Amino acid sequence: MYQLLLFIIGDFLNKLAFKKVFCSLPMFKKSHSGVKTMMEVNYTDIVIVGAGASGIAAALTAIEKGCRVVLLEKGDKFGGAGMFGAQGLFAVNSQQQKAKNINYTVSDAFHELLEYTHYRSNAKITKKILNKSAETIEWLASNGLETELVNNTQEPHQKHAEVYHQYIDKYNGFQRLMDNFVSQGGILLTETSGLSIIKDNTDQISGIRISHKGIPSTINCKAVICADGGFIGNQEMVAKYSAIDPDVLHSMGERKATGDGIKMLEQIGGDTRHIGVFENHAATVTSPINSKWHQNSLFTLTNVPLLWIDKHATRFVNEEIVYDFALWGNATYAASGYYYIIIDQALISHLEKQQLNWTDAFERTFKTLSHEPISHKIGPFPTLRNDLTDAVKNKAAWTAKTLDELAIQLTLDPNKLNAAIKQYNKSVEHKKDTLFYKNSKFLSFKVEQGPFYALKARSTSLGTIGGIETNENMEVLDQKGNIIKRAYATGNNASGMYDTSYPTLEGISCAFAWNSGRIAGAAAVEALN
């Protein structure tokens, strides 16, 4: 899962280390090896747009096989979501798994993924990605980015075979990958974006128009690999393709991913019929007036199965779905992208003074990756009342003395809200949820003592997944299924691995990025030869 562990985890694990580690790395200095100016670049074999996981994988693979490669990075730092957000990647049948006698095969993973997508994904792409995944772990290590096999990071996945390979020394590891690329003659151009792909009069790719530090230019080349991460950073495209109001979609994806590669490939005939799949991942409470607002206590309450109410003033799911991030994200997206967490004064009073033997959905994720013990407890939160008052001030929550008043503030039907809460309280009283079968352990708190609070949880997306149709070699296809020669899409630009939602296998989108990049890099070299 690509940022699952994406950005929440990246923020959690890396804030303290960021300044200490990042600023000492060559890639974050004003001048560093491998970064060229446009005066030095006018012709190459392959241009790769985007220097995240899939772009780096494609670039290093192609240059290892003897081609000349120019790698474009839109920002001033390479790495993308594969570095700044992700903490690791999926693999099956790796040497680390074999060493732990883990009995999980490519066949097992293949059937698991195809069944999740109801066979509405590309089986050939899926098989090729899975087949290559173990080798990619070794390839990354040989090029300087090592990983360690860790326990699965979500509660429902504890009985699943271990598949998540966490990065070791992530930022230095990415730097070593780039150093290897540059040492073999690779050229990295930062602050450079792709504009359009050029074809000659024989319909062959002959170059790419780019913008380097705001100045348009052209690089002559024989093949183009678009690896720039989808379009989550393009608000117009998000609004066009999202099934929910884009204003309620909270993006934790790569802001520089503005769909440039997808648009360039579409201009030369690339098939975009499956564009519009979002990597829905959990839900979060945010402030619409203060992007930096955060309260740890309320973040925790978002991550446990309290009472959730949708825009129709009804329960819409068994709230235990909170423990599987992909499914939690899907449920939120299906509920028009948001819901309200309803709590009362009795729960607040309890949590201000006592622990609760419930697991924060993200605790295992955070603590597995930082090698800390897991408590399976939340609280106490001595300042919870003040935290909620602060949330109301920042328009992340609402409060009222009665449920009728709360419903009016939320523009919900008071009768429906009262009916939903009455039914829920009955479930708590009898320790039996006849509506959605919630575990009796989580039927612990009625909602009946004012004042009442509602926290708005919004659909969270780690990015877009898919856009351009490809075959198993990541070659771009037109709407008739014909190959557009020497044009490739990888990572979040490529369709085929998913159906309408992100799968539950941990680290699979990051694995898709690395492996699709390696596949495209090798395919481009073969095409040129």
Looking at the chain, how many residues does it have?
A: 529
CA gap 285, 278 in Å, rounded: 19
Percent pLDDT > 90 in the chain is 90
What top-level class would CATH report for the domain 279-461? alpha beta
User: Three-class SS of residue 320?
Assistant: helix
Question: Cis bond leading into 414, ω under 30°?
Answer: no
332: pLDDT strictly greater than 50? yes
User: Could you tell me where in the chain the CATH 3.90.700.10 domains are found?
Assistant: 279-461
User: Could you tell me where in the chain the CATH 3.50.50.60 domains are found?
Assistant: 4-277+465-528
* Nearest of 233, 279, 278, 239 to residue 260 by alpha carbon: 233
CA gap 497, 508 in Å, rounded: 10
pLDDT digits (tens, 9 = 90+) for 232-279: 999 999 999 999 999 999 999 999 999 999 999 999 999 999 999 999
**91 backbone φψ class: left, alpha, beta (φ>0; ψ -120 to 50):** beta
Task: Tell me 495's DSSP state.
Answer: -
Other CB atoms within 10 Å distance of the CB of residue 517: 32
pLDDT digits (tens, 9 = 90+) for 5-57: 444 444 444 433 333 333 333 333 333 445 555 556 789 999 999 999 999 99
306: pLDDT strictly greater than 90? yes
CA gap 322, 123 in Å, rounded: 29
CA gap 207, 46 in Å, rounded: 9
pLDDT digits (tens, 9 = 90+) for 146-198: 999 999 999 999 999 999 999 999 999 999 999 999 999 999 999 999 999 99
Bridge partners (DSSP) of residue 398 are 454
Q: What is the pLDDT of residue 25?
A: 36
Q: Are strands 69-72 and 46-49 parallel, antiparallel or unpaired?
A: parallel
CA gap 473, 453 in Å, rounded: 52
CA 524 to chain centre: 27
Q: What is the dihedral of CA 206, 212, 214, 219, to 10 degrees?
A: -20
For the chain, give the mean pLDDT: 93
Q: What is the pLDDT of residue 42?
A: 87
Task: Tell me 322's DSSP state.
Answer: G
Cβ–Cβ < 8 Å for 279, 333? no
CA gap 521, 514 in Å, rounded: 11
Q: Would you state the CATH architecture of domain 4-277+465-528?
A: 3-Layer(bba) Sandwich (3.50)
Other CB atoms within 10 Å distance of the CB of residue 434: 10
Strand locations in 233-290, DSSP E?
Answer: 250-251, 278-285
Q: What is the pLDDT of residue 28?
A: 34
CA gap 222, 206 in Å, rounded: 5
Other CB atoms within 10 Å distance of the CB of residue 341: 22
Read off the pLDDT of each residue in 186-214 and give the average, rounded to a whole number. 98
CA gap 529, 11 in Å, rounded: 43
Question: Cis bond leading into 380, ω under 30°?
Answer: yes
Q: What is the pLDDT of residue 36?
A: 58
Read off the pLDDT of each residue in 389-415 and give the average, rounded to a whole number. 99
Other CB atoms within 10 Å distance of the CB of residue 60: 25
pLDDT digits (tens, 9 = 90+) for 108-134: 999 999 999 999 999 999 999 999 999
Read off the pLDDT of each residue in 84-113 and give the average, rounded to a whole number. 97
Strand order in the sheet with 215-220: 192-199, 205-212, 215-220
pLDDT digits (tens, 9 = 90+) for 334-385: 999 999 999 999 999 999 999 999 999 999 988 887 889 999 999 999 999 9
Q: What is the pLDDT of residue 22?
A: 34
CA gap 450, 349 in Å, rounded: 11
pLDDT digits (tens, 9 = 90+) for 434-444: 999 999 999 99
Q: What is the pLDDT of residue 31?
A: 33
